[in-house]
């Protein structure tokens, strides 16, 4: 299926999504949101795909929502429709039962920043800049920025970024715990692919359960989350991959996981 606003490639169990509206700094419009949602559903249903990488161009990952499109929203209902679509697509990215690696370079602002926050692993090039500048145009982030950011970097620094609309560079983002690593721009995609290949070799059901435990457990109190974790461990002992993994360990050979 051809896409107008994203490029898509599947290789070695990796789904590579490249945002592709460079003339508009990869800003999110209705067409891109529809294509991303359709693409994520396609990836979810394909058991051969183990990991997702989402990236953009060297100078811009995504500069947020397309202000020209947002300005067309003249009623609260229209605002709700557009904002809820952005939130729905980004939420889908977060709960996708496959790890998502954001490979970030250049401008990572607004909704683009929120896409990265919903990703599981964030690797940035040394030219990346990050921010939630919505306050500067009289609004606030509406696709998870006010909620995911403090959960990742803590409330104090999140308040500073949200209230000032300030921009931080990649080294500062790494220092405050926003990023997993920073690499030279020329190495960004290879670094993301190497991480993806490492994850793709792991048993898929266990990876899915680990992601579910992390995301769902944060919505529970500790006692509930520990009980949920225990149920997931018990389920994994019913899988073929668990038996293969333990047998391979004892037999000192590389396991052959089948996702069952």
| Predicted confidence (pLDDT) per residue in 99-137, tens digit | 999 999 999 999 999 999 999 999 999 999 999 999 998
Closest CA to 168 of 123, 113, 100, 94: 113
Could you give the residue numbers annotated as active site? 114, 134
Q: pLDDT tens, 222-234?
A: 999 999 999 999 9
Q: What is the pLDDT of residue 80?
A: 87
Give the confidence band of 260 by pLDDT, cuts at 50, 70, 90: confident
Q: What is the pLDDT of residue 256?
A: 86
List 19's β-bridge partners, or say none. Answer: 6
Mean pLDDT on 156-166: 96
Q: What is the pLDDT of residue 94?
A: 96
What is the location of CATH 3.90.226.10 in the chain?
6-200
Q: pLDDT tens, 37-51?
A: 999 999 999 999 999
Domain 6-200, classified CATH 3.40.50.300, yes or no: no
Q: DSSP labels for the chain?
A: ---SSEEEEEETTEEEEEE--GGGTT-B-HHHHHHHHHHHHHHHH-TT--EEEEE--SSEEE--B-HHHHTT--SHHHHHHHHHHHHHHHHHHHH-SS-EEEEE-BEEETHHHHHHHHSSEEEEETT-EEE-GGGGGT----SSHHHHHHHHH-HHHHHHHHHH--EEEHHHHHHTTS-SEEE-GGGHHHHHHHHHHHHHTS-HHHHHHHHHHHHHHTTS-HHHHHHHHHHHHHHHTTSHHHHHHHHHHHHTS-------
Domain 204-251, classified CATH 1.10.12.10, yes or no: yes
Q: What is the pLDDT of residue 10?
A: 95
pLDDT surpassing 90 at residue 211: yes
Give the confidence band of 74 by pLDDT, cuts at 50, 70, 90: confident
Give the confidence band of 149 by pLDDT, cuts at 50, 70, 90: very high
What is the location of CATH 1.10.12.10 in the chain?
204-251
Q: What is the pLDDT of residue 69?
A: 82
Q: What is the pLDDT of residue 120?
A: 97
């Amino acid at each position: 299926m051809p896409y107008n606003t994203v490029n898509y490639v599947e290789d070695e169990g990796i789904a590579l999504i490249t945002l592709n509206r460079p003339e508009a700094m990869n800003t999110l419009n209705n067409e891109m949101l529809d294509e991303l949602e359709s693409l994520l559903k396609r990836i979810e249903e394909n058991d051969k795909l183990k990991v997702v990488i989402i990236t953009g161009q060297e100078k811009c990952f995504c500069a947020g929502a397309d202000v020209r499109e947002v300005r067309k929203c003249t009623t609260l209902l229209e605002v709700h429709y557009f904002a809820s679509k952005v939130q729905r697509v980004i939420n889908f990215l977060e709960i996708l039962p496959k790890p998502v690696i954001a490979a970030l370079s250049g401008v990572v602002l607004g909704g683009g920043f929120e896409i990265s926050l919903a990703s599981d692993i964030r690797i940035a090039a040394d030219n990346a800049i990050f921010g939630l500048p919505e306050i500067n145009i009289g609004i606030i982030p509406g696709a998870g920025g006010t909620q995911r950011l403090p959960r990742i970097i803590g409330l104090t620094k999140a308040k500073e970024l949200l209230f000032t609309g300030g921009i931080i560079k990649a080294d500062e983002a790494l220092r405050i715990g926003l990023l997993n690593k920073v690499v030279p721009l020329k190495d960004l995609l290879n670094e993301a692919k190497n991480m993806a290949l490492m994850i793709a070799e792991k048993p898929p059901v266990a990876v899915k359960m680990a992601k579910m435990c992390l995301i769902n457990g944060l919505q529970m109190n500790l006692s509930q989350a520990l009980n949920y974790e225990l149920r997931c461990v018990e389920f994994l002992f019913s899988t073929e991959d668990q038996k293969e993994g333990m047998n391979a360990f004892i037999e000192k050979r590389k396991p052959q996981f089948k996702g069952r």
